[in-house]
């Protein structure tokens, strides 16, 4: 894991760097607070940091405040290294945005244990964010086709129509369904019908631009929203989409199994 260490004492910085590299960390070492804040505020910057309290440019608490103010995406676990041991100093450091602190001189074993605690917290945050994103995706997408579900595409369409009132750019809306799809389900069963719907969705996605919108409107019905597309162009696009879906047979596991 990447970790940043910041200390203006060259000997202490080098010793700490060697200790952490030996423990398996990918270390970025800087000698002042301004450089530390710059590294930590990068979107792909280290998410674990050891900051000396007293440094030029910005001190440790100032770095913590800067990071908390500017980096709003993933959490950065900040540990202050300090010889200040009073309760008031500890409170000041934690209130500046630090997650933990170590009193100098510190024990290497304690340092590693506290860093492991930070890594567990960051892992927990990642898991929570992943779970939240998964829930958001499931709430906005159709579980069978992975297209936008009815509620989501109608909401996005409403937003595009409002935007059109401001920028006056044309929007074309298409609603299409699959002919005789009930016959497919009745003849071969719903499992094969689901395969057909998934393949149609795949072909639909491949036939539009990345910023167009496609949703499953219901059953075998699909809603397509073409952004910045006039009626004349929409007629041609509709024919292109129809050909993309119907130009070749849809092969299913059921058909392959019969062979």
Which domains, ranges and CATH numbers included, belong to the chain? Answer: 2-138 (3.40.50.2300), 150-258 (3.30.70.270)
Are 163 and 211 within 8 A, CB to CB? no
CA torsion through residues 141, 145, 151, 152, sign: positive
pLDDT band at 254 (very low <50, low <70, confident <90, very high): low
Give pLDDT tens digits for 38-83: 999 988 899 999 999 999 889 999 999 999 998 767 899 999 998 8
Strands of 53-169, DSSP E: 77-82, 100-103
Can you spell out the DSSP letters for 21-37?
HHTT-EEEEESSHHHHH
Q: What is the CA radius of gyration of the chain?
A: 28
Using CA atoms, how far apart are residues 73 and 115, in angstroms rounded to an integer? 21
Statement: residue 108 has pLDDT above 90? no
Q: Which residues are catalytic?
A: 220
Statement: residue 256 has pLDDT above 50? no
Tokens of 6: 């910041």
């Amino acid at each position: 894991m990447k970790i940043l260490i910041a200390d203006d004492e060259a000997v202490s910085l080098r010793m700490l760097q060697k200790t952490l590299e030996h423990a398996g960390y990918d270390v970025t070492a800087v000698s002042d607070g301004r450089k530390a804040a710059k590294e930590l505020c990068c979107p792909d910057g280290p998410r674990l940091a050891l900051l000396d309290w007293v440094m030029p440019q910005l001190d440790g608490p100032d770095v913590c405040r800067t990071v908390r103010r500017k980096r709003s995406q993933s959490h950065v676990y900040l540990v202050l290294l300090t010889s200040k041991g009073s309760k008031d100093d500890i409170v000041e450091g934690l209130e500046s945005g630090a997650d933990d602190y170590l009193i100098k001189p510190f024990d290497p074993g304690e340092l590693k244990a506290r860093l492991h605690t930070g890594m567990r917290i960051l892992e927990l945050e990642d898991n929570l964010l992943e779970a939240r994103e998964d829930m958001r995706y499931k709430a906005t997408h159709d579980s069978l086709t992975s297209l936008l579900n009815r509620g989501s595409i109608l909401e996005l369409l409403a937003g595009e129509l409002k935007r059109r009132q401001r920028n006056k750019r044309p929007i074309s809306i298409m609603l299409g369904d699959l002919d005789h799809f009930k016959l497919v389900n009745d003849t071969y069963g719903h499992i094969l019908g689901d395969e057909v719907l998934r393949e149609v969705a795949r072909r639909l996605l491949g036939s539009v631009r990345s910023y167009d919108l496609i949703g499953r409107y219901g059953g075998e019905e699909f809603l397509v929203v073409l952004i910045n597309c006039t009626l004349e162009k929409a007629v041609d696009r509709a024919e292109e989409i129809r050909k993309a879906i119907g130009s070749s047979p849809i092969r299913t596991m059921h058909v392959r199994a019969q062979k």
